[in-house]
């Protein structure tokens, strides 16, 4: 049976578009990040995307707490207070830039995960990895491992306080699916246009 056509982008094209967007964020300063934030914010008004974003944000909370401190204490420059050179203004600014980029990456990642769903995400990774089979990469094995990771994350027990987790460990039964079915999708002109858009975006930020 031929691959089905879908009004949505091909999973591989959508993943590539997000990867190009995330890579381009590294070259944007505050004005560019401000425009990117304005464009990305409407996605959070969609309830499933917002829920996925909050879940990603909760899992990354320690990173957001540590990033400003690491940058503030490790980058030399004008001190925050006279006579105290441990914390610098350039470090605070660079830490803020890093946090903003991470927030935008998580926002758009939440949108991609919501739009694709587990089955289409696995097929997208499989489609991207398949051309590398000549170099020894097993695309099918990668798809299987990713499916198992997604299935385990979906059935994971809710987070408990660490003291309770240490004192009363909980046995979570395995939830390995008996069969993994990929959902092929036909490549269309929209997907080619998405790749051109990704290339144009990277060219613009690198120029």
pLDDT of residue 32: 93
**Who has greater pLDDT, 31 or 165?**
31
Per-residue pLDDT at 47 exceeds 50? yes
pLDDT of residue 151: 59
Whether the CB-CB separation of 76 and 88 falls below 8 Å is answered with yes
Per-residue pLDDT at 45 exceeds 80? yes
pLDDT of residue 199: 93
The C-alpha atoms of residue 88 and residue 90 are separated, in whole angstroms, by 6
Per the DSSP assignment, residues forming a β-bridge with 185 are 4
pLDDT of residue 134: 82
Tell me, what DSSP letter sits at residue 202?
H
Q: Residues 146-199: pLDDT tens digits?
A: 777 765 655 555 555 544 444 544 444 444 555 667 778 889 999 999 999 999
**198: Cα separation from own chain's centroid:** 16
pLDDT confidence band for 142 (50 / 70 / 90)? confident
pLDDT of residue 153: 57
Residues of the chain above pLDDT 70, percent: 79
**Who has greater pLDDT, 131 or 4?**
131
Per-residue pLDDT at 6 exceeds 80? no
Mean pLDDT score of the chain, rounded to an integer?
82
The number of residues making up the chain comes to 207
**Who has greater pLDDT, 56 or 154?**
56
The full set of domain ranges for the chain reads 11-154+187-206
Exposure letters 120-150 (e unless 16+ CB within 10 A, then b): bbbbbbbbbbeeeeeeeeebeebbbebbbeb
Q: Where are the alpha helices (DSSP H) in the chain?
A: 11-25, 30-40, 47-59, 61-74, 89-129, 139-154, 162-167, 189-206
Residues of the chain above pLDDT 90, percent: 41
Q: Residues 58-104: pLDDT tens digits?
A: 988 899 889 888 888 888 887 777 766 778 888 888 999 999 999 99
């Amino acid at each position: 049976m031929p691959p089905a056509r879908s009004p949505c982008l091909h999973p591989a094209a959508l993943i590539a578009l997000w990867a190009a967007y995330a890579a381009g964020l590294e070259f944007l300063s505050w004005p560019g990040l401000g425009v990117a934030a304005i464009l990305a914010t409407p996605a959070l008004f969609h309830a499933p995307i917002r829920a996925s974003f909050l879940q990603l944000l909760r899992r990354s909370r320690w990173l957001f707490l540590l990033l400003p401190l690491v940058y503030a204490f490790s980058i030399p420059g004008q001190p925050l207070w006279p006579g105290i050179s441990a914390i610098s203004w350039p470090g605070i600014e660079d830490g803020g830039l890093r946090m903003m980029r991470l927030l935008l990456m998580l926002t758009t990642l939440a949108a991609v995960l919501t739009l694709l769903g587990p089955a289409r995400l696995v097929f997208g990774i499989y489609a991207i990895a398949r051309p590398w089979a000549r170099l020894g990469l097993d695309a099918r094995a990668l798809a299987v491992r990713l499916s198992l990771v997604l299935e385990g994350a979906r059935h994971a027990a809710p987070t408990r306080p660490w003291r309770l987790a240490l004192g009363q460990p909980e046995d979570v039964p395995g939830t390995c699916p008996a069969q993994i079915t990929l959902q092929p999708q036909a490549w269309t002109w929209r997907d080619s246009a998405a790749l051109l858009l990704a290339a144009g975006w990277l060219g613009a930020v690198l120029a």
